[in-house]
Amino acid sequence: MSDNKLVIFDTTMRDGEQSPGASMSKDEKIRIGKTLERLGVDVMEAGFAIASKGDFEAVHAVASVVKESTVCSLARANFKDIEAAAQALEPAPRKRIHTFIATSPIHMQYKLKMQPDQVVEQAVAAVKHARKFTDDVEFSAEDAGRSDPDFLCRVFEAVIAAGAGTINIPDTVGYALPNEFGGLIADIIARTPNSDQAVFSVHCHNDLGLAVANSLAAVQCGARQVECTVNGLGERAGNASLEEIVMAMRVRHDLMELETGIDTTQIVPASRLVSSITGFPVQPNKAIVGANAFAHEAGIHQDGVLKHRETYEIMSAEDVGWSANRMVLGKHSGRAAFKSRLEELGIMPAEDNAFADAFVRFKALADKKHDIFDEDLVALMTGDNSDAGEVMFKLTDLEVSSKLGVSPTASVGLSVMGEETHIQAEGDGPVDATFKAIEKIAQSGCETSLYNVNAITSGTESQGEVTVRLERAGRIVNGVGADTDIVVASARAYLHALNQMMKPQVRQHPQSSNP
């Protein structure tokens, strides 16, 4: 690795997937994996292979399609986890096993119920075992931010000697402050005798809103890998956001003379894809990828930007993928143009019949909407639409009536496991009436805990993208749906969430139990 390289390790599909309701199907992970590869991430953590059969298959599927980036699976520091990771990663041309164990006094005493000596022994055994399957092994000291630095140096020296090539120092609970965290990294690198034989990495959580600041402080103190996620998705308040790290490295190259291999023009498409798949909307004022990130409201700013862009802008919208690729499709676009755009966006379905279905939906959309932008295509390929064929509930009909002063009614047709049912319901609004009608049929007992509508593009003919979050017995799922008619989009989003809720989900949380 060259001296001025900063390794970008994306964990959208693992830590990002730990956000409540953000679970991703195998096909969705394939799409995200291809997008991350186009973005140019060095390593992508595709999941936690031992967590469930579905997780194993998703890691295996990503490992089968991604050729350029290294594909990684998380594994606790035990042989069973490591073997599952190795098996899932088998098809990948470049593979990494990422094994971890907690090192803070509080985790060792209460969660692991292990003595520090046992933790060192277990970490070394795990790394040695992982090295039997690949030369590329990463070791993480979970809750390093609250661990004793002397103990960290001892663990790291031992695991580097056992064959770990990357040493990750997570601030698991998002507790650190930038100066303190940078100091910890510098101290550990200086005091671990064999630190020159490994790449030091950081993995910061955003509980105090400091994940990016802490990661950059660590880079300035010697870290050469940053773990991050698209849109800052991740456990609780999320992880350091990939787009913010990458753009800070680029814009402040004067202070941080390191290179990432990221093609920044792919940042916005990646952000949109992850947002539509997970149903986590991007807040308008989010740095880099928020809708307002390059919008100037104040007249004095607009005037300045028109005269000389750099008066108020430190980077250009095009550099991060806004309005690049603005090739517009429409009613007259044929199969070939549609196919080539899907391929360029990395959202081309693998099966011919899925492509044929998508083309029918594209034509239907083009009848209602004059210009079809990339954002419309991403929405067309995600959410309820992409599940066609394999789901319990499908929308077959929807009619709503809404009149000033009268309660709206919705008449909904659903195919339930292939059987057609129609029902009517009243509600406080057309969307509420539609959800009530669906519930009368489904009887799911789910609570709707989030309902959100976003315009995908500008103008009143824009598709509305709706996110619905359902909760039942502690389980949370998100659904997304898009249509030029927001009641239809809402019904699709509700059904998308409901269909996910119906799938059995038995999976382990990586950080919840003993090795």
What's the min distance (Å) between Cβ of 235 and Zn ion?
5
List the one residue out of 15, 78, 82, 72 whose CA is nearest residue 46: 72
Cα–Cα distance for residue pair 202/215, rounded to 1 Å: 6
- Which one among 38, 203, 341, 436 touches ligand KIV, defined by CB under 6 A? 203
CB closer to Zn ion, 230 vs 347: 230
Q: At what angle do helices 53-65 and 26-39 cross, to 10 degrees?
A: 40
Per CB under 6 A, which region of 29-37, 164-172, 206-214, 396-404 contacts ligand KIV? 164-172
410, containing H or E segment: strand 406-416
Cα–Cα distance for residue pair 243/12, rounded to 1 Å: 12
Which two tokens mark 332? 């007259």
What's the min distance (Å) between Cβ of 170 and ligand KIV?
3
DSSP, collapsed to helix, strand or coil, labels residue 101 as strand
Q: Taking CB under 6 A as the rule, which mask of x and - marks residues 100-119 in contact with ligand KIV? A: x-------------------
Quote the radius of gyration of the chain (alpha carbons, Å): 24
Cα–Cα distance for residue pair 342/340, rounded to 1 Å: 5
- Which one among 136, 142, 244, 374 touches ligand KIV, defined by CB under 6 A? 142
- Total residues in contact with ligand KIV, by rule CB under 6 A: 11
Binders of ligand KIV in range 317-356 (CB under 6 A):
none
Residue that is written with structure tokens 């969660």 in the block: 111
Q: Taking CB under 6 A as the rule, which mask of x and - marks residues 496-515 in contact with ligand KIV? A: --------------xx----
Per CB under 6 A, which region of 168-176, 293-301, 309-317, 364-372 contacts ligand KIV? 168-176
425 vs 7, 139, 382, 486, 488, CA distance in Å? Answer: 54, 55, 28, 18, 15
CB closer to Zn ion, 231 vs 434: 231
CB closer to Zn ion, 237 vs 287: 237
Is 432 an interacting residue with respect to Zn ion (CB under 5 A)? no
CB closer to ligand KIV, 98 vs 129: 98
Is 15 an interacting residue with respect to Zn ion (CB under 5 A)? yes
- Which one among 103, 134, 147, 172 touches ligand KIV, defined by CB under 6 A? 172
What's the min distance (Å) between Cβ of 15 and ligand KIV?
5
Name, in order, each residue with C-beta under 8 angstroms of 480's C-beta and a sequence gap of 6 or more. Answer: 276, 277, 279, 379, 382, 383, 384, 465, 466, 467, 468, 492, 493, 496
List the one residue out of 375, 377, 379, 383 whose CA is nearest residue 268: 375
- Is 399:375 a contact under the CB 8 Å cutoff? no
Q: Would you tell me which residues interact with ligand KIV (CB under 6 A)?
A: 15, 100, 140, 142, 168, 170, 172, 203, 205, 510-511
Binding site for Zn ion (CB under 5 A): 15
